[in-house]
């Protein structure tokens, strides 16, 4: 079965959210079979920064709803947006 890379943008509730702590909580709460591959901090506006996180998983696990829900339920998260889903060749 093929694997996919999923790029997700995570918007914090405000500028005071510790993005390093948020990333660690994301890593601990992603569904089984989903690996965190890479991440970066992306400036948004007026000091607000977002996390862009890449996940890898087998495409047999289905869509991205479980990842979005796991991240969206964390304290300090305002919005979760899937930017890209792509097969790994």
Express each pLDDT in 27-53 by its tens digit: 999 999 999 999 999 999 888 999 999
Number of domains in the chain: 1
* Start-to-end C-alpha separation, the chain: 11
Structural domain boundaries, residue 24: 3-87
Please compute the mean of the pLDDT values over residues 1-23 and round it to a whole number: 95
Closest CA to 77 of 30, 6, 17: 17
pTM: 0.91
Domain of 47, CATH number, reads: 3.30.70.60
Please compute the mean of the pLDDT values over residues 46-71 and round it to a whole number: 94
> Which of the four pLDDT bands, split at 50, 70 and 90, describes residue 62?
confident
Q: What is the pLDDT of residue 47?
A: 87
Q: What is the pLDDT of residue 1?
A: 75
């Amino acid at each position: 079965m093929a694997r996919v890379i999923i790029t997700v943008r995570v918007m914090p509730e405000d500028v005071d959210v510790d993005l390093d702590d948020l990333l660690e909580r994301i890593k601990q709460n992603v569904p089984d079979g989903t690996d965190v591959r890479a991440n970066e901090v992306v400036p948004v506006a007026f000091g607000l920064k977002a996390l862009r996180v890449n996940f890898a998983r087998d495409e047999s696990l289905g869509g991205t709803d479980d990842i979005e829900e796991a991240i969206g339920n964390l304290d300090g998260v305002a919005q979760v947006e899937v930017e890209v889903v792509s097969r790994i060749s």
